């Protein structure tokens, strides 16, 4: 990594709630936040005041024109606009840190990766669960060879009552790209991260829509329903992915499914050890009843050995740390936690899961 002496100056695009984590992470890594832009100028001004950012704008064009010192942007907007805004910023010569998912589909993700390569700029995504202390610790063991070859893994992000409003952009496929498969892609990504991001061959998926219009299954985030909005995405999906290496991965993702409690987890089985990284959420999300697990399982000297990996708690679930890594990666002080090529692979798998669910057959990735 070549270290840069230039100070990273960031413009945040989107005044939503995630901006507070991005801002904290960027600043913790020594970056400066020059401005916040949002199509709602009042929201941009309000967030700028909250985060002690000097300038706010009603458009990205204005921000890039009037703040030439900006050399990187953070994108926090509905999924449909990830690719267009990333392409705009990369064309303007800016590094890009984009919220998940990377794009609506693999075609858009490929275009973003190609633009980053052409511009010779860093393109990263907020796969914040890779930055959780549990995930970093487990990946270090895996990289040291403790697990051996990971043959199989199981990725879960399941919710009982987690539909984020009805008729809003989350539930409109045209704006979001899909439901929980694309929204809660973190555990699919984390499993791939542990497995070494192997080349996918095909995916088999089945989506379910039984509860997607049932108000009993609305999540606790207070996002208002849009009276005449569109709700045309899945509420759950179960899938299986086979890789060209022979490795396999199962996934379960849901906003609304009759499970006991919300679970965010990756389990894996290697040739030397298995492992589990898991958060079981409490009744009110992250509260005193939530539990975290980080464990390794092996056979040693004729005994079954289970190791607890103890790490500091992180109630931001890696969000601040992920943003800080973006700055450190730009400046050559750390390796990036994710790459544009990995994002393309992830979106290929998601595309294949949706295609398989539609056709009833395995789909090539």
Which band of pLDDT confidence, cut at 50, 70 and 90, is reported for residue 67?
very high
Q: Give start-end residues of each CATH 3.30.360.10 domain in the chain.
A: 130-315+345-364
In angstroms, the CA 69 to CA 92 distance is 12
Longest dimension (CA), the chain: 68
Q: Give start-end residues of each CATH 3.40.50.720 domain in the chain.
A: 9-127+320-337
Which of 91-95, 193-197, 314-318 bottoms out in mean pLDDT, i.e. has the lowest? 314-318
The highest-level CATH class for domain 130-315+345-364 is alpha beta
The first and second tokens of residue 22, run together, are: 């991005």
Which band of pLDDT confidence, cut at 50, 70 and 90, is reported for residue 274?
very high
Residue 149, Cβ neighbours under 10 Å: how many?
A: 13
Which of 96-100, 207-211, 313-317 bottoms out in mean pLDDT, i.e. has the lowest? 313-317
91 pLDDT higher than 60: yes
In angstroms, the CA 213 to CA 188 distance is 25
Instruction: Using DSSP, state whether 205 is helix, strand or coil.
Output: strand
Closest CA to 190 of 157, 219, 158: 157
Instruction: Using DSSP, state whether 5 is helix, strand or coil.
Output: coil
Residue 317 confidence (pLDDT): 92
DSSP string, 155-169: EEEE-SS-B--SSSG
User: pTM of the entire structure?
Assistant: 0.96
Q: At what angle do helices 106-119 and 340-359 cross, to 10 degrees?
A: 170
What is the overall mean pLDDT for the chain? 95
230 pLDDT higher than 90: yes
Residues 280-303: what's their mean pLDDT? 83
In angstroms, the CA 62 to CA 71 distance is 15
Percentage of residues of the chain with pLDDT beyond 90: 92
Q: CATH assignment of 9-127+320-337? A: 3.40.50.720
């Amino acid at each position: 990594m070549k270290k840069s002496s230039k100070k990273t100056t960031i413009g945040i695009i989107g005044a939503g709630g995630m901006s507070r984590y991005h801002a904290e992470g960027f600043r913790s890594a020594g970056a400066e936040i020059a401005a916040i832009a949002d199509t709602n100028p009042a929201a941009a001004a309000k967030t700028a005041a909250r985060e002690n950012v000097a300038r706010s704008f009603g458009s990205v064009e204005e921000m890039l024109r009037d703040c030439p010192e900006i050399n990187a942007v953070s994108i926090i907007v509905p999924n449909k606009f990830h690719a267009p805004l990333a392409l705009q910023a990369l064309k303007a010569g800016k590094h890009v840190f984009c919220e998940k998912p990377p794009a609506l589909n693999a075609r858009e993700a490929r275009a973003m990766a190609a633009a980053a390569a052409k511009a010779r700029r860093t393109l990263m995504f907020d796969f914040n669960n890779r930055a959780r202390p549990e995930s970093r610790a487990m990946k270090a063991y895996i990289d040291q060879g403790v697990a051996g070859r990971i043959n199989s893994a199981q990725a879960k992000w399941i919710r009982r009552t987690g539909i984020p409003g009805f008729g809003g952009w989350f539930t409109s496929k045209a704006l979001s790209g899909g439901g929980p498969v694309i929204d809660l892609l973190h555990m699919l990504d984390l499993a791939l991260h542990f497995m070494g991001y192997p080349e996918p061959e095909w995916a088999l998926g089945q989506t379910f829509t039984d509860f997607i219009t049932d108000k009993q299954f609305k999540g606790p985030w207070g996002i208002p329903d849009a009276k005449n909005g569109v709700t045309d995405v899945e509420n759950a999906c179960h899938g299986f992915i086979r890789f060209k290496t022979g490795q396999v991965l199962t996934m379960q993702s849901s906003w609304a499914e009759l499970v006991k409690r919300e679970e965010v987890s990756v389990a894996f089985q290697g040739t030397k050890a298995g492992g589990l990284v898991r958060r079981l959420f409490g009744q009110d999300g992250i509260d005193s009843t939530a539990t975290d697990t980080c464990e390794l399982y092996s056979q040693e000297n004729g005994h079954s050995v289970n190791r607890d990996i103890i790490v500091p708690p992180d109630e931001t679930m890696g969000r601040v740390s992920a943003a800080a890594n973006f700055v450190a990666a730009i400046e050559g002080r750390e390796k990036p936690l994710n790459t544009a090529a990995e994002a393309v692979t992830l979106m290929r798998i998601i595309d294949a899961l949706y295609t398989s669910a539609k056709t009833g057959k395995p789909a090539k990735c």
